[in-house]
Amino acid sequence: VLLSGGEIAEHFLKAADVNRLRLIEEPLPGIVAAKAETKSNRSLVVVTKSGSFGNEQVLYELIDYLYKNNYKNKKHEFERSLT
């Protein structure tokens, strides 16, 4: 899931019942890819960016990044509780 804008990301993560983000990596400077985990033990990969950061090309690069990467075997280096 690609989330652009802090308010959009916040509302999406709350609506999806996400309580933990595990940082995967920084696909582009200032942009974060993370594994979002819900209270019911479901997970999905999210990429978040500031709404005012980057241009149309950045969005294309991030879509390509999500398409090409498989996170099931990635080691998670950082954990942040959202509760």
Q: What is the mean pLDDT of residues 2-16?
A: 92
What is the pLDDT, as a whole number, of residue 80?
45
pTM reported for the whole predicted model: 0.72
The continuous run of DSSP H or E covering 63 comes out as: helix 56-68
**Cα 48 to Cα 14: distance, rounded to the nearest angstrom:** 14
Average pLDDT for the chain: 82
Give 20-52 pLDDT, tens digit per residue. Answer: 999 988 999 889 999 999 999 898 889 988 877
**Cα 82 to Cα 10: distance, rounded to the nearest angstrom:** 10
Structure-token pair, residue 13: 């993560």
Structure-token pair, residue 78: 């950082």
